[in-house]
Amino acid sequence: AQSVSQHNHHVILSEAASLELGCNYSYGGTVNLFWYVQYPGQHLQLLLKYFSGDPLVKGIKGFEAEFIKSKFSFNLRKPSVQWSDTAEYFCAVINFGNEKLTFGTGTRLTIIP
Amino acid sequence: GAGVSQTPSNKVTEKGKYVELRCDPISGHTALYWYRQSLGQGPEFLIYFQGTGAADDSGLPNDRFFAVRPEGSVSTLKIQRTERGDSAVYLCASSWGGDTQYFGPGTRLTVL
């Protein structure tokens, strides 16, 4: 069965700092990869996704993620964070041919103004 | 356009009672999913519908949980004989043809 690990449970950064959130998955077959974000009081929203092609994926609000197949990783990055990026971030994976998302436990990001 | 909607937003019930949670997917989306999110965890898959039929119900924890989607649009998640361990946020998502899943705001269920 697929599993997803997000090693950073709570990250605290100052505004303008660079961000990298880790995500690793276990199943080595073909996968589709996602990052979802949940802002305070709001529902889960898609940040970016990877299905195929260029392993460097750009999403909304300046976020990007890189799929490294050999490392089973899909880390999320942003060069300069803003206070409004304060949220919970979830990495999720779908095994090809399947429909169910497997989520990590999430990383809470707090940005200090 | 309108997103996924879920009702009620909050439900408090007593142990042993029956509850129904409703999900209205995005118009035209053929696939509908239910997930459950416990405190401090990511969402966990429960069941997935393609049209009216349950294509994968492998995530339902036991036979107290049941879901229907009789006309291929609105879905209802039904929980019988609720237990305190059922307390969680129940999330619904929909998609077009297996593409990106769009989530609703969830129903927070509290079993006393």
Tokens of residue B11, six digits: 């439900």
Confidence of residue A98 (pLDDT cuts 50, 70, 90): confident
Query: Which residue on chain B is closest to A44 by alpha carbon?
Result: B103
Are residues B94 and B102 in contact, defined by beta-carbon separation less than 8 angstroms?
A: yes
Query: Which residue on chain B is closest to A43 by alpha carbon?
Result: B105
CA distance B59 to chain A (A): 9
Output the CA angle B96-A25-B107, nearest 5 degrees: 50
Q: What is the DSSP string of B59-107?
A: T--STTEEEE-TTSS-EEEEE-S--GGG-EEEEEEEESTTS--EE---E
Confidence of residue A97 (pLDDT cuts 50, 70, 90): confident
pLDDT in tens, A28-81: 789 999 999 999 999 999 999 999 999 999 999 999 999 999 999 999 999 999
Confidence of residue A86 (pLDDT cuts 50, 70, 90): very high
The residues facing B20 across adjacent strands are B78
Are residues A37 and A47 in contact, defined by beta-carbon separation less than 8 angstroms?
A: yes
Is some CB atom of chain A closer than 8 A to the CB atom of B96? Answer: no
Determine phi and psi for A70, rounding to 5 degrees: -65, -20
Which chain B residues have a beta carbon less than 8 Å from that of A4? 42
